[in-house]
């Protein structure tokens, strides 16, 4: 009878482990079916940071890969700017500074500043190149 509490504990532990295993199995199935039906924008394999200052972006070109989900992160280094790329449904600013996009076609897309930031606003542009 000395061993009974230990035995009960073991059984309880097994039940907990079994329950955990079942949950993760279901989760895996859900993820698999999600991948088949549509591209999930929640996860990105790559990350690109775009920095803006008065009055330019930190790069003239930003390179993305077709078919690879990418997280775009926007940072203001000076002034108040944003980015806008209508063809990629990309629009970011200080408040909404991160977005996962899924480039489906190759090409060069013009990125402009999304916020009227002052005298240099119209000069603020760069290219998003999907290849
Ligand atoms: Cu601007």
pLDDT single digits (tens) 24-42 = 444 444 444 434 444 444 6
Q: Is 51 exposed, middle or buried (0-12, 13-18, 19+ CB in 10 A)?
A: middle
CA of 126 to the centre of ligand 1 (A): 12
Sole residue written with tokens 């989760």: 27
Cα(4)–Cα(19) distance, integer angstroms: 23
CA of 61 to the centre of ligand 1 (A): 17
CA of 102 to the centre of ligand 1 (A): 25
Whole-number pLDDT of residue 13: 53
CA of 100 to the centre of ligand 1 (A): 22
All residue ranges of the chain with pLDDT < 70 are 1-42
Mind spelling out the 3-state secondary structure of the chain? CCCHHHHHHHHHHHHHHHHHHHHHHHHHHHHHHHHHHCCCCCCCCEEEEEEEECCEECCCEEEECCCCCEEEEEEECCCCCEEEEHHHCEEEECCCCEEEECCCCCEEEEEEECCCCCCCHHHCEEEEEEC
Residues near ion ligand 1 (CB < 5 Å) are 113, 115, 117, 121
Q: How many CB atoms lie within 10 A of CB 92?
A: 21
Whole-number pLDDT of residue 34: 39
CA of 8 to the centre of ligand 1 (A): 67
Prediction pTM value: 0.68
Whole-number pLDDT of residue 43: 82
Whole-number pLDDT of residue 11: 53
């Amino acid at each position: 009878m000395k061993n009974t509490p230990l035995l009960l504990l073991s059984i309880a532990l097994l039940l907990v482990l079994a329950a955990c295993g079942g949950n993760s199995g279901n989760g895996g199935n859900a993820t698999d079916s999600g991948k088949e039906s549509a591209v999930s924008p929640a996860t990105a394999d790559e990350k690109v940071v775009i920095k803006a200052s008065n009055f330019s972006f930190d790069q003239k070109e930003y390179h993305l890969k077709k078919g690879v989900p990418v997280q775009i992160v926007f940072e203001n280094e000076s002034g108040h700017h944003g980015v806008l790329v209508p063809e990629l449904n990309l629009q970011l600013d200080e408040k909404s500074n991160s977005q996962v996009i899924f480039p489906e076609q190759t090409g060069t897309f013009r990125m402009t500043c999304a916020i009227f930031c002052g005298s240099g606003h119209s000069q603020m542009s760069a290219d998003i190149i999907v290849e």
